[in-house]
C-alpha cells in the first residue's frame, strides 16, 4: 500500500467541522472587508513612478527588512512566518487532496509529511524564541501589550496540539510504512498510550486543534495578525513609491483625514518599537514616540469609523488634528530615521505631518514660536524676520553676480535664508563664493528674487504657505533660465529635488546639487590645489536631509578626504544611522524638552571620537551643534565647521573673495 | 451678539529700517512688509471668541482699497462672518475724526451691539478712532481693554492702567471697546484657510452709501493736520563694553543693578 494519510481518519461530524470552518472564514473575511473599507475611506496618493518588485518580494518573503540590525529577530520572524505559511498551505493541500484530486500518495506524501513536521518545529522554535526575547531577556526596546501574548500563546498552542494529534494518530494506526515525522513519532513513542487510548486522545485533541486553528483564522483581522496583510500591502505601496504630496486644490477637496496608505500603515504596525529606539526625540526623552503616534492614530481612526459595516469617512473628515493628543506631534524633526528603521515601511513622520496640517489649518494648538516663524515667512519670505532688503548682506564686498539685478547665468547658487541672515553662518556662502571663483565655477544668485525654500514650512503642515513660496521660487528659476541649482542647504536641496519636482514639471528638467556634490566634482577635476593647513581630525555629521532623505553620504566624505591634512573619523551613528541634530521639521522653533538636548547628545558622541572639529553641511545642524558645544561644556575642545568653510580655508593664499 | 470690528492694514515698521520720503510727508513703504495692525488682530480674535461662546455674527470693516482686501480675507479665514470695505479714495489724508465719521456711517447701517477696534494703530499711533467713533455714536466706550465678560445687556471689562493696575468697568451695550494686545492669543491663519474664503463677496461701499456728505471726508475736513514727520535726533553715544565675555556680563549686570533693574 502506498503511503498516504486518510483525511478525517477517526473523526465524525464532518458537517460540524465544515460549519465552524465556514463561520471562521466568514468572520475573517468580514474583518478584512471592514479594514478594506476603512482603508478605502482614505484619500488617494500619487506615485512617483517606478516599482522595485524584487525589493518588495525580498522584504515580504525573506524578511530582509526585519533582519536589518536584528538578525535574531529576523530568524524568529522567518521561523514563525514560514512555519505558519507552510502549515496553512499544507492543510489547504490536503483539503484539495481530499475533495478535488487525490495526489498526496507515495513518495510525495512522505515528503509532504516531513516538510510539515519541519514547519511545525520551525513555528514552535520561532514562537519560543519570540517568547524568550520578549519575556525572559526582556529586550529593553520592546513594549508588550496583551495582544502580543495572545498571538504567541495561540500559535504555540496550535503547533503543539497539531503535533499531539499526529503523535496519537501514529500511535493508533498500524501503517505498512514509517512516516518521516520526527516529532510525531517521538510523541507516539513517549505517550505510552494503548491503541484505544490513543484513538480517544486523537479524537479529543483533533477537535481542540481544529477549534483553536479556526479561532485563529476568525481572530486574524482583529489581532496583531492584521499585519500579515497590512504590512505586506504597505511594503508594496512603498515599493510603488506612493507619496503624500497633494496640490492645494486637491487638498482643499479632501473629504477624509488620512490617505489610504496612512491608514494601511496604522494596521501594518506591529508595535516592534524599532522606530522609538532611533527617534532623536525619544532618545532625548521628549514626549514623542513614533510608535505611539501610529498606535494612537490607528485607534482614533477605528473609533471614528464606528462599528457599522461601512465606516463613515465623512465623520472623520478633518478631525485628525486630535488623532494624537497634545504636543508630541510638534517634537518630530522629520529626520526619517523611524521610516528607515521600520521593517514594514511605515512612516510615522507622514502621519504626523497630516496631523500638523490639520492643526495649522484650525489655527489652534500650534506652538507660538511656530506661528511667529510662519508669519515671518509670510511677511518677509524668511523665517528669521530678516528685512527683505538685507537678504544680500552676506555678500557685502564680494561683488557677487545677482540675477535679479540683470546678471546672466544658467547656474543658480541658492543661498537659503539661514545662511543669508545669520551673521556667523554668512561665512558659509562667502566661502562657497571663494571656492567657486578659485575653481572658475560660474554662478549667480537670485538676490531679491530668492525666497525661503519652505521645506520645513511643509514639514510643519502649512501647505498653503509652502506652495505660495515654492511657486515663487520656481517662477524665479524659470524667469532667469536656470538649468542648474547649487545650494549649501540640504533642506532646499531636498525640497527642490523632491517636492518642487512633483509640483512643477520645469523642476524635473533642472539639475539640483547640494554644495557638497559640486565641491566633490570640482575637487575631483583637479581644478583646485588645496594646501595643508595643519593636521586635523574631523568627524562628519550627516544632515538628515542630505543623507537619509536623499542618499548623499559619499560626496561630503570625498570632499573631506581631498583636503590635505584632514583625517576623517566616523561616529558610531553615521551615514544612514546618523542622529539628527534636532533641528528639522520646524524644531528650530520649538522649545526642546527638559533633559539633555538632542544636539548635546550628538556633540558628546562627536567628542567621543577624539575629533577636534565637527563638520556638517546644513545651517540647522550647524546652529544646533554650535550651541550644544557651548551648553554641553565642550567649548575649546571641539568646534563646528561647515564643509564649505573647510575647503575655503585650504585654498591657496587662504580664503579670498 | 452682533459685533463690528474695525481693522486697518499697516506697514510693519517694528524691526525694519524706516526711511522718510523726501519732504517728511511719509515713509517709504516699498521694502516694508505690511499686514493687519497688531492690535486689530487681537480685536478680531476677541470678537470671534465671543461669537463662538455666545453666538451671533462678526463683521470686519476697513477703510481701504484693493490692497487691503487680503487683510479682510484673513479676518474671514479667522472666523469672521462678513467683511465690508469702505472705499478709501475719499479718505486720503483723513485724520482720526474723518476715519471715525466713515465708521459711524457704517455702524449706522447695521444693528451692532458691540464695536471693537485696536487700541491704536502701528503706523500713526493716534489711539483715537475708537473713542471718537463712540462720541459720534453717543455710545459708552472703554480703551485698552484686556478682558471682556458678557452679562446680558451689560458687559464687564478690565482696562490696563499704568503701574500694573487694572480697572474693572461695567458698561451698557451698545458700546465701543478698544482692545489692548495680550487680551488673547490670536489663532494662526493658514493660507489654506484664506483660500477657502477667497470666493466670499466683500461689498465695497463709497461715502455716499454710508450717508457721508462730500465735505465730511478727506484732508479738508480734518481737525488734526500733520505738519511733518522726522527721525528724532540720536541720543548720547552708546557705551561699548570691552573685555572677556565674563567681564562684559559682570559689567552689564552692574549697570542693570545700578538702574534698579534687579531687585
Residue A93 has pLDDT above 50, yes or no: yes
Model confidence pLDDT, tens digit, residues A152-163: 999 999 999 999
Outline which parts of chain A fall under CATH 3.40.50.10700: 528-649
Instruction: Report, as an integer, the average pLDDT of A121-149.
Output: 87
Model confidence pLDDT, tens digit, residues A587-604: 999 887 778 899 999 999
Outline which parts of chain A fall under CATH 1.10.1060: 241-362
> A204: helix, coil or strand?
helix
A463: its cell numbers: 501647505
Any idea which fold A241-362 has?
Fumarate Reductase Iron-sulfur Protein; Chain B, domain 2 (1.10.1060)
- Within 8 A of B35 by CB-CB distance, chain A residues are 378-379
Of A362, A368, A387, the CB nearest to B17: A387
**Lowest pLDDT segment from A111-115, A580-584, A647-651, B246-250:** B246-250
**CA–CA distance from A78 to each of A118, A126, A369, B24, B101 (Å)?**
13, 8, 47, 81, 81
What φ, ψ does residue A4 adopt, rounded to 5°?
A: -165, 170
Separation between Cα atoms, residue A608 and residue A612, nearest integer Å: 10
pLDDT interval class at A313 (50, 70, 90): very low
Residue A507 has pLDDT above 90, yes or no: yes
Nearest Cα residue to A461 out of A531, A367, A547, A388: A367
* B190 inside 8 A of chain A by CB: yes
Q: Are strands A613-616 and A536-540 parallel, antiparallel or unpaired?
A: parallel
* B194 inside 8 A of chain A by CB: yes
Residue B133 has pLDDT above 60, yes or no: yes
* B17 inside 8 A of chain A by CB: yes
Predicted confidence at residue A453, as pLDDT, reads 97
Separation between Cα atoms, residue B12 and residue B21, nearest integer Å: 16
Shortest distance between the Cα of A504 and any Cα of chain B, in A, equals 19
Of B31, B78, B196, the CB nearest to A388: B31
Which of A230-239, A295-304, B87-96 reaches the highest mean pLDDT?
Answer: A230-239
- Within 8 A of A252 by CB-CB distance, chain B residues are 192, 195-196
Shortest CA distance from B187: residue in chain A? A363
Separation between Cα atoms, residue A260 and residue A212, nearest integer Å: 33
**CA–CA distance from A519 to each of A424, A437, A558, A563, B172 (Å)?**
21, 12, 9, 11, 72
H/E element, B147? strand B141-151
| Greater model confidence, A314 or B163 | B163
What's the DSSP call for residue B233?
P
Residue B216 has pLDDT above 90, yes or no: no
Task: Determine, for residues B187 and A468 on separate chains, whether the beta-carbon distance falls below 8 Å.
Answer: no
Predicted confidence at residue A656, as pLDDT, reads 47
Determine if residue A461 is left, alpha or beta; phi over 0 gives left, psi from -120 to 50 gives alpha, anything else beta. Answer: left
* B246 inside 8 A of chain A by CB: no
Cβ contact A28:A135 at 8 Å: no
Separation between Cα atoms, residue B168 and residue B146, nearest integer Å: 10
Non-local CB neighbours of A633 within 8 Å, separated by 6+ positions: none
CATH number for the domain running over B2-221: 3.40.50.620
- Within 8 A of B27 by CB-CB distance, chain A residues are none
A224 pairs with which residues across the strands?
A: none
Q: Are strands B154-160 and B141-151 parallel, antiparallel or unpaired?
A: antiparallel
Of A363, A368, A379, the CB nearest to B35: A379
CA A626 to chain centre: 28
- Within 8 A of A362 by CB-CB distance, chain B residues are 187
Shortest CA distance from B11: residue in chain A? A379
Separation between Cα atoms, residue A578 and residue A597, nearest integer Å: 16
Task: Determine, for residues A465 and B190 on separate chains, whether the beta-carbon distance falls below 8 Å.
Answer: yes
Residue A281 has pLDDT above 60, yes or no: yes
Residue A310 has pLDDT above 50, yes or no: no
- What are the extents of the domains in chain B? 2-221
Residue B160 has pLDDT above 50, yes or no: yes
* B31 inside 8 A of chain A by CB: yes
pLDDT interval class at B262 (50, 70, 90): low
Nearest Cα residue to A45 out of A226, A299, A345, A247: A247
Model confidence pLDDT, tens digit, residues A190-204: 988 999 999 999 999
Non-local CB neighbours of A277 within 8 Å, separated by 6+ positions: A141, A341
Predicted confidence at residue A230, as pLDDT, reads 96
**CA–CA distance from A512 to each of A182, A238, A433, A473, A484 (Å)?**
62, 24, 18, 14, 6
Of B12, B31, B190, the CB nearest to A361: B190
Separation between Cα atoms, residue B181 and residue A127, nearest integer Å: 63
Q: For chain A, what percent of residues have pLDDT higher than 70?
A: 97
Separation between Cα atoms, residue B25 and residue B23, nearest integer Å: 6
Predicted confidence at residue A319, as pLDDT, reads 65
The C-alpha angle A47, A48, A54, rounded to 5 degrees, equals: 90
A134: its cell numbers: 520578549
Model confidence pLDDT, tens digit, residues A383-400: 999 988 899 999 999 999
**CA–CA distance from A281 to each of A56, A67, A550, A621 (Å)?**
29, 25, 21, 15
Residue to substitute from A464, A470, A472, interface B, most B β-carbons within 10 A: A464
Task: Determine, for residues A467 and B187 on separate chains, whether the beta-carbon distance falls below 8 Å.
Answer: no
Separation between Cα atoms, residue B74 and residue A651, nearest integer Å: 51
Residue to substitute from A374, A376, A387, interface B, most B β-carbons within 10 A: A387
SS3 helix, strand, coil % of chain A, rounded to 5?
Answer: 60, 5, 35
Task: Determine, for residues A463 and B191 on separate chains, whether the beta-carbon distance falls below 8 Å.
Answer: yes
Shortest distance between the Cα of A254 and any Cα of chain B, in A, equals 12
Shortest distance between the Cα of B187 and any Cα of chain A, in A, equals 5
Shortest distance between the Cα of A311 and any Cα of chain B, in A, equals 27
Residue A655 has pLDDT above 70, yes or no: no
Residue A657 has pLDDT above 50, yes or no: no
Q: Does CATH place domain A528-649 in 3.40.50.10700?
A: yes
Task: Determine, for residues A464 and B195 on separate chains, whether the beta-carbon distance falls below 8 Å.
Answer: yes
pLDDT interval class at B226 (50, 70, 90): confident
Predicted confidence at residue B214, as pLDDT, reads 81
Give the predicted TM-score (pTM) of the model.
0.90
H/E element, A412? strand A411-413
Separation between Cα atoms, residue A87 and residue A110, nearest integer Å: 15
Separation between Cα atoms, residue A164 and residue A162, nearest integer Å: 5
Residue A317 has pLDDT above 70, yes or no: no
Q: Write down the ipTM of this complex.
A: 0.83
Model confidence pLDDT, tens digit, residues B110-124: 889 999 999 999 988
Chain A contact residues (CB < 8 Å to B) = 248, 251-252, 360-364, 366, 368, 371, 374-375, 378-380, 385, 387-389, 462-465, 467-468
Task: Determine, for residues B78 and A363 on separate chains, whether the beta-carbon distance falls below 8 Å.
Answer: yes
Residue A54 has pLDDT above 80, yes or no: yes
Task: Determine, for residues B188 and A371 on separate chains, whether the beta-carbon distance falls below 8 Å.
Answer: yes
Predicted confidence at residue A586, as pLDDT, reads 94
Predicted confidence at residue A312, as pLDDT, reads 47
Separation between Cα atoms, residue B27 and residue A142, nearest integer Å: 64
CB-CB neighbours of A321 under 10 Å: 21
H/E element, A433? helix A427-439
Amino acid at each position: 500500500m502506498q503511503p498516504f494519510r486518510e483525511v478525517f481518519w477517526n473523526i465524525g461530524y464532518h458537517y460540524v467541522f465544515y460549519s465552524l470552518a465556514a463561520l471562521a472564514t466568514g468572520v475573517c473575511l468580514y474583518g478584512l472587508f471592514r479594514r478594506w473599507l476603512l482603508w478605502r475611506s482614505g484619500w488617494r496618493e500619487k506615485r512617483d513612478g517606478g516599482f522595485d518588485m524584487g525589493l518588495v518580494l525580498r522584504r515580504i518573503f525573506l524578511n530582509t527588512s526585519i533582519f536589518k540590525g536584528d538578525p535574531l529577530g529576523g530568524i524568529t520572524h522567518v521561523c514563525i512566518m514560514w512555519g505558519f505559511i507552510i502549515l496553512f498551505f499544507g492543510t489547504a493541500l490536503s483539503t484539495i487532496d481530499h475533495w478535488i484530486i487525490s495526489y498526496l500518495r507515495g513518495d510525495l506524501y512522505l515528503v509532504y509529511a516531513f516538510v510539515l513536521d519541519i514547519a511545525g518545529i520551525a513555528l514552535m522554535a520561532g514562537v519560543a524564541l519570540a517568547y524568550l526575547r520578549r519575556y525572559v531577556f526582556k529586550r529593553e526596546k520592546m513594549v508588550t501589550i496583551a495582544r502580543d501574548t495572545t498571538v504567541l500563546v495561540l500559535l504555540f498552542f496550535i503547533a503543539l496540539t497539531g503535533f499531539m494529534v499526529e503523535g496519537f494518530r501514529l500511535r493508533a494506526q498500524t501503517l505498512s510504512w514509517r512516516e518521516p515525522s520526527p516529532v510525531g513519532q517521538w510523541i507516539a513513542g513517549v505517550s505510552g498510550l494503548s491503541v484505544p487510548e490513543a484513538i480517544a486522545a486523537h479524537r479529543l485533541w483533533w477537535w481542540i486543534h481544529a477549534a483553536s486553528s479556526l479561532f485563529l483564522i476568525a481572530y486574524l483581522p482583529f489581532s496583531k495578525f492584521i499585519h500579515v496583510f497590512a504590512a505586506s500591502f504597505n511594503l508594496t505601496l512603498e515599493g510603488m513609491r506612493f507619496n503624500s504630496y497633494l496640490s492645494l486644490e486637491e487638498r482643499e477637496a479632501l473629504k477624509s483625514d488620512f490617505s489610504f496608505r496612512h491608514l494601511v500603515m496604522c494596521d501594518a504596525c506591529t508595535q516592534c518599537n524599532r522606530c522609538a529606539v532611533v527617534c532623536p526625540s525619544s532618545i532625548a526623552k521628549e514626549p514623542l514616540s513614533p510608535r505611539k503616534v501610529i498606535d494612537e492614530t490607528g485607534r482614533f481612526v477605528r473609533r471614528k469609523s464606528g462599528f457599522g459595516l461601512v465606516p463613515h469617512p465623512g465623520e472623520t473628515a478633518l478631525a485628525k488634528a486630535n488623532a494624537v493628543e497634545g504636543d508630541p506631534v510638534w517634537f518630530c524633526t522629520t529626520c526619517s530615521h523611524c521610516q528607515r528603521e521600520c521593517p514594514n515601511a511605515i512612516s510615522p513622520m507622514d502621519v504626523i505631518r497630516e496631523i500638523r496640517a490639520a492643526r495649522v489649518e484650525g489655527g489652534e494648538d500650534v506652538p507660538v514660536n511656530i506661528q511667529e516663524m510662519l508669519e515671518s515667512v509670510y511677511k518677509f519670505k524668511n523665517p528669521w524676520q530678516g528685512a527683505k532688503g538685507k537678504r544680500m548682506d552676506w555678500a557685502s564686498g564680494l561683488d557677487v553676480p545677482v540675477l535679479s539685478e540683470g546678471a546672466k547665468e544658467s547656474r543658480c547658487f541658492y543661498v537659503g535664508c539661514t545662511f543669508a541672515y545669520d551673521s556667523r553662518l554668512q561665512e558659509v556662502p562667502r566661502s562657497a563664493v571663494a571656492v567657486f571663483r578659485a575653481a572658475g565655477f560660474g554662478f549667480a544668485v537670485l538676490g531679491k528674487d530668492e525666497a525661503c525654500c519652505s521645506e520645513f514650512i511643509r514639514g510643519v503642515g502649512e501647505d498653503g504657505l509652502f506652495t505660495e513660496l515654492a511657486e515663487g521660487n520656481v517662477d524665479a528659476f524659470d524667469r532667469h533660465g536656470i538649468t542648474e541649482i547649487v545650494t549649501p542647504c540640504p533642506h532646499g536641496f531636498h525640497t527642490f529635488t523632491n517636492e518642487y519636482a512633483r509640483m512643477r514639471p520645469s523642476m524635473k528638467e533642472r539639475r539640483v546639487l547640494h554644495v557638497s556634490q559640486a565641491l566633490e566634482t570640482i575637487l575631483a577635476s583637479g581644478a583646485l590645489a588645496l594646501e595643508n593647513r595643519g593636521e586635523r581630525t574631523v568627524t562628519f555629521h550627516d544632515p538628515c536631509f542630505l543623507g537619509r532623505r536623499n542618499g548623499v553620504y559619499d560626496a561630503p566624505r570625498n570632499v573631506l578626504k581631498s583636503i590635505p591634512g584632514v583625517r576623517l573619523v566616523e561616529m558610531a551613528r553615521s551615514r544612514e544611522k546618523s542622529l539628527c541634530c534636532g533641528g528639522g521639521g520646524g524644531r528650530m522653533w520649538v522649545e526642546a524638552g527638559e533633559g539633555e538636548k538632542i544636539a548635546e547628545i550628538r556633540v558628546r558622541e562627536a567628542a567621543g571620537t577624539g575629533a577636534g572639529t565637527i563638520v556638517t553641511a546644513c545651517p540647522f545642524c550647524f546652529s544646533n551643534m554650535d550651541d550644544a558645544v557651548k551648553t554641553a561644556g565642550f567649548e575649546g575642545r571641539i568646534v563646528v565647521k561647515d564643509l564649505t568653510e573647510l575647503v575655503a580655508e585650504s585654498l591657496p593664499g587662504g580664503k579670498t573673495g | 451678539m452682533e459685533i463690528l470690528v474695525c481693522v486697518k492694514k499697516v506697514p510693519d515698521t517694528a524691526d525694519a529700517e524706516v526711511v522718510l520720503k523726501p519732504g517728511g510727508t511719509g515713509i517709504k513703504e516699498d521694502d516694508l512688509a505690511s499686514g493687519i495692525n497688531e492690535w486689530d488682530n487681537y480685536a478680531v480674535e476677541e470678537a470671534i471668541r465671543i461669537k463662538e461662546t455666545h453666538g451671533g455674527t462678526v463683521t470686519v470693516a476697513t477703510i481701504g482699497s484693493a490692497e487691503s482686501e487680503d487683510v479682510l480675507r484673513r479676518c474671514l479665514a479667522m472666523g469672521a462672518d462678513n467683511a465690508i470695505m469702505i472705499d478709501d479714495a475719499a479718505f486720503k489724508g483723513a485724520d482720526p475724526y474723518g476715519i471715525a465719521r466713515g465708521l459711524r456711517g457704517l455702524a449706522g447701517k447695521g444693528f451692532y451691539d458691540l464695536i471693537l477696534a485696536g487700541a491704536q494703530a502701528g503706523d500713526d499711533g493716534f489711539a483715537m478712532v475708537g473713542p471718537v467713533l463712540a462720541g459720534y455714536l453717543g455710545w459708552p466706550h472703554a480703551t485698552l481693554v484686556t478682558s471682556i465678560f458678557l452679562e446680558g445687556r451689560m458687559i464687564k471689562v478690565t482696562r490696563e492702567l499704568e503701574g500694573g493696575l487694572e480697572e474693572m468697568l461695567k458698561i451698557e451695550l451698545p458700546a465701543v471697546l478698544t482692545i489692548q494686545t495680550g487680551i488673547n492669543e490670536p489663532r494662526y491663519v493658514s493660507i489654506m484657510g484664506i483660500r477657502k474664503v477667497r470666493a466670499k463677496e466683500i461689498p465695497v461701499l463709497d461715502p455716499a452709501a454710508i450717508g457721508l456728505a462730500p465735505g465730511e471726508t478727506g484732508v479738508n475736513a480734518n481737525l488734526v493736520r500733520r505738519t511733518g514727520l522726522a527721525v528724532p535726533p540720536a541720543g548720547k553715544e552708546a557705551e561699548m563694553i570691552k573685555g572677556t565675555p565674563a567681564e562684559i556680563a559682570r559689567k552689564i549686570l552692574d549697570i542693570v543693578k545700578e538702574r534698579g533693574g534687579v531687585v
